[in-house]
Structure 1
């Protein structure tokens, strides 16, 4: 195992800048998830750690070694791709042990490592099967087993669950997390799915347009997003945003452009400041003291009810965990739960402390 330090890394394809001085410290044994929308640079960064892309500037260290100029095979990392990339003419056992065979490892050592990895992943009964005889989840486990047998310092995962159905993705998330807890190997995991990031990571790195917007523990990003992008990206359903003005007259109050007023615990900005108030759907409640709203759409899921409501000229999503009898067109009164709002500067998008 080893730490990974990404220091002021830049990547350019000709005149096009892809990564703009990205720095990410990854501790030995840490599970770090790079998350962001398509095109944010997260997969490019992962490939640079693996040695599959050259670095335009900056430095990547694995353990004590600077690996900028090292070929992939010399970096002691193992990568699991979105595409399983299994050899169709080889058995599961042969696929898992192939990289060791290329190294010239003794056959008995290969067999021992393959058996051990198969036991960890529940693949022992499948070792003599071929990829065409496996389900999608089983193929992904074989790809993970192929990485495990190498006993690398760092695991790299590039959206490994994207090809699986929703139920299997949930199961595989648990398996990968359990695998990390057992092996304690430093892991860098790329995904565009923020639910994967929240449920699996020790540390999340939110990327956007080739820059790091924020990094930290999952609940830290959820509770205190640094800016509008992180606030809107982390959390499902996404945070509601309302433009308005801060009024300081006794108790601080937010007055929306549509005329609604919401009392605040703290201000953090001057009277008359243009701000954006953020409130998560799960932090809105039906209350007699709330703001008038009209129900537009009701989506019951069993354990929760997702409702889209219109408050003045603003549409908002509400997530209720009570069994409310809501119907489209119904008038209700809603308000944020105390202490559960976020304020952002309208001009910069930065969080107002």
Structure 2
């Protein structure tokens, strides 16, 4: 296992800059997930760690070694690709042992390491088979086995589950997490799927336009997103984001939204009165009760244990996630209660998180 440190990393293709001075410290043994929309630079960053892309400027350290100019085969990392990249003419055992044979390890070492990896991943009965005889999940396990036999300092995963169906993705997600718990190898995992990020990571790095937007533990990002971008990206269903301005009403503070309703606010927002903001509330923090939120119902989606109510408030779309069964008529207006302690307020112009005067006082 090794620590990974990235210092002011930049990547350009001619005049086009993809990464804009990214700095990141990954502690030894941690499982870190890079997440973000397509084109944000997460896969480019991973490929630079692997040595598959050159560094324009900045530094990459694996352990105490600066590896900017080190060949991929000499970095003591193992990468698992989206496409599995198995050799079709080789058996499972031959695919898994390929890197060891290239290093001219002894037959005894090769047999031992392949056996160990096959037992960890439940591949022992499949060792004589060829990739064409395997399911998608089995092929992915073989690709992971090929990485394990190298005993790397760092595992790199590049969207390894995106080619699998939904049920198999859930299964493989758990298997990769169990693998990390068993081996304890420092892992950097790239995905565009925030559910994968939330369920697997020790730390999530949210990327946007070649920069780090926010990093932290999964629930830290979920409970306290620092921007509208992170708030909308982390969580499924995503956070409701309603546009309006801070007002006072009957001695209390609220946000007046596009249909004229005033949504409640906790705390002292006197310094923000008149300011245009985005009012964020997660679907599960809305419940039956007071009429804080008057929603015109568009669609009801029952899932059994929960009911999603998809509706509209003025110009904004809203999702309510109820832990109960409900049957509302489309176009009906229904009142819901808001958990005011779970409201998030963002500046409408910058998209950054805002705090009330009382919250700022607590922070100091």
Distance (whole Å) between structure 1 residues aligned to residue 330 and residue 128 of structure 2:
56
SS at structure 2 position matched to 1:329: coil
Distance in structure 2 (CA, Å) of the matches to 1:137 and 1:222:
30
In the alignment, is the contact (CA less than 8 A) between 1:78 and 1:154 conserved in 2? yes
Moved more, 132-141 or 274-283: 274-283
Q: Distance in 2 between matches of 1:29 and 1:224?
A: 25
Which residue does the alignment assign to 1:7? 7
In angstroms, what is the RMSD of aligned CA positions? 1.2
Deviation at 1:282, TM superposition (A): 1.4
Q: Does 1:156 align with 2:156?
A: yes
Matches within 5 A, 1:281-320: 281-320=283-322
Taking the aligned partners of 2:70 and 2:336, their CA distance within structure 1 comes to 58
Distance 2:354 2:149 in 1: 48
CA distance in structure 1 between the aligned counterparts of 2:307 and 2:85, rounded to whole angstroms: 41
Match of 2:120 in 1: 120
Provide the residue aligned with 1:260 in structure 2.
261
Q: TM-score, normalised by structure 2?
A: 0.95
Aligned counterpart in structure 1 of residue 276 of structure 2, from 274, 277, 289:
274
Hey, what does 1:188 align to over in structure 2?
A: 188
Cα distance in structure 1, aligned partners of 2:168 and 2:133: 17
C-alpha distance in 2, partners of 1:330/1:252? 28
User: Which residues of 2 match residues 213-252 of structure 1 at below 5 A?
Assistant: 213-248=213-248, 250-252=251-253
Change (3 A) 1:344 1:30: same
Distance in 1 between residues matched to 2:259 and 2:296, nearest whole Å: 14
Q: Say if 2:297 and 2:328, in contact at 8 Å, map to a contact too.
A: yes
**Which has the larger displacement, 335-344 or 185-194?**
335-344
Distance across 2 between alignment mates of 1:153 and 1:73? 12
Counterpart check, 1:201 vs 2:170: no
- Call closer, same or farther: CA 1:331–1:247 in 2, change over 3 Å: closer
For 1:288 and 1:29, how far apart are their aligned partners in 2? 47
**Contact 1:231/1:239 (8 A) holds in 2:** yes
- Please report how far the alpha carbon of residue 324 of structure 1 lies from its aligned counterpart in structure 2 after TM superposition: 1.6
Distance 1:51 1:75 in 2: 8
| 3-state SS, counterpart of residue 84 of structure 1 | coil
Match of 2:137 in 1: 137
3-state SS of paired residue (1:207): strand
Give 1:328 deviation, angstroms. Answer: 1.7
**How many Å separate the matches in 2 of 1:93 and 1:71?**
26
Q: Is the 8 A contact 2:258 2:314 kept in 1?
A: no
Distance in 2, matches of 1:153 and 1:293, equals 52
1:248 Cα deviation (Å)? 4.2
Distance (Å, rounded) in 1 between the aligned partners of 2:229 and 2:293: 26
Contact kept in structure 2, 1:7 and 1:22, CA below 8 Å: yes
* In structure 2, C-alpha distance between the alignment counterparts of 1:315 and 1:183, rounded to whole Å: 44
Using the alignment, how far apart are the partners of 2:201 and 2:118 within structure 1? 24
1:76 positional shift: 0.4
Asked if the contact 2:300/2:327 (under 8 Å) is kept, the reply is no
1:302 is displaced (CA, Å) by 1.4
Give 1:262 deviation, angstroms. 1.4
Shift of 1:188: 0.1
Q: Distance in 2 between matches of 1:83 and 1:116?
A: 24
Tell me, yes or no, if the aligned pair for 1:227 and 1:350 is still in contact at 8 Å.
Answer: yes
Runs (5+) with no aligned partner, structure 2 = 356-364
Give the structure-1-normalised TM-score. Answer: 0.98
CA distance in 2, matches of 1:46, 1:307: 39
1:150-176 Cα offsets, whole Å, 9 max, x none, are 000000000000000000000000000
How many angstroms does 1:239 deviate by?
A: 1.1
SS of aligned partner of 2:207: strand
- 5+ residue gaps in structure 1? none
Does residue 336 (structure 1) correspond to residue 330 (structure 2)? The answer is no
- C-alpha distance in 1, partners of 2:104/2:172? 32
